[in-house]
């Protein structure tokens, strides 16, 4: 690419010398040199952007390594919500270093990380738990939701509430829900008002889910419904 841009620059400077008459050369120079210069600038910008992207993808030690490259949900680059999402979801989901059985009877550890290979009572480090959280958020929430949410005008608070809800109920249920259909139709208030419906596990109403979805609790972050509505 560097060779190409250099050749383009040389061509722009020497082009008038190739023309048969001085008048023609002057006319060509006036018209062509700005165009060639603009093309050269575009190529330089492309080279710079490509280098930055490669460096971004190779960052395994910081935010990118932990949070993925970022996916678009509702028009928002989800990596920008990382710290707020961690605090919000970990508060409602709970944070456990040792494997336990959740309300549905599934082996769970960390911040809602479920895996049938987990053994009850096994304990893991904080670093491992955080790594699992970002992997789960990218794989189970952001990737599927970036395909099924087509409304690109959602606020950060609404997206954060929807991500937390999806993290809890699963992307399959979320993408096929009335809530997402209302989001995509631009009926945001009606979509947020769907949150209180999602309080059942195997047909049984769970008080903890009621608190998370709409009741709220003193000293806790806003409920999913309240956070979703606050973004309107």
Locate the domains of the chain by residue range.
Answer: 2-58, 69-93+126-230
Q: Are strands 107-110 and 204-205 parallel, antiparallel or unpaired?
A: unpaired
Residues in the chain: 232
User: Is it the case that residue 36 has pLDDT exceeding 70?
Assistant: no
pTM: 0.67
pLDDT class of 152 with cuts at 50, 70, 90: confident
Mean pLDDT of the chain: 79
What's residue 102's pLDDT? 85
Q: What is the mean predicted confidence (pLDDT) over 186-192?
A: 98
Q: pLDDT value at position 14?
A: 46
Secondary-structure class of domain 69-93+126-230 per CATH: mainly alpha
Tokens at residue 78, please? 């989800």
**Termini Cα distance of the chain:** 46
Whether the per-residue pLDDT at 68 is higher than 60: the answer is no
Task: Give yes or no for a contact between 162 and 145, defined as CB atoms under 8 angstroms apart.
Answer: yes
């Amino acid at each position: 690419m560097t060779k190409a841009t250099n050749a383009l620059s040389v061509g722009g400077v020497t082009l008038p010398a190739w023309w048969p008459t001085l008048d023609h050369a002057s006319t060509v120079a006036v018209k062509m040199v700005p165009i060639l210069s603009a093309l050269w600038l575009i190529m330089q910008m492309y080279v710079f952007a490509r280098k930055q992207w490669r460096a971004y993808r190779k960052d395994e030690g910081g935010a990118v390594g932990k949070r993925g490259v970022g996916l678009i949900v509702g028009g928002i680059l989800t990596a920008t919500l990382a710290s707020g999402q961690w605090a919000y979801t970990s508060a409602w989901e709970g944070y456990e270093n040792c494997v336990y059985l959740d309300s549905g009877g599934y082996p769970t550890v960390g911040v809602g990380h479920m895996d049938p290979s987990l053994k009850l009572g096994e304990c893991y480090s904080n670093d491992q738990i955080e790594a699992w959280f970002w992997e789960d958020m990218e794989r189970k929430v952001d990737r599927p939701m970036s395909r099924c949410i087509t409304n690109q005008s959602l606020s950060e608070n609404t997206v954060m509430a929807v991500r937390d809800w999806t993290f809890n109920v699963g992307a399959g249920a979320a993408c096929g829900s009335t809530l997402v259909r209302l989001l995509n139709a631009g009926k945001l208030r009606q979509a947020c008002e769907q949150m209180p419906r999602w309080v059942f596990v195997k047909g049984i109403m769970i008080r903890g889910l009621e608190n998370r979805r709409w009741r709220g609790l003193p000293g806790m972050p806003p409920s999913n419904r309240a956070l979703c509505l606050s973004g309107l």
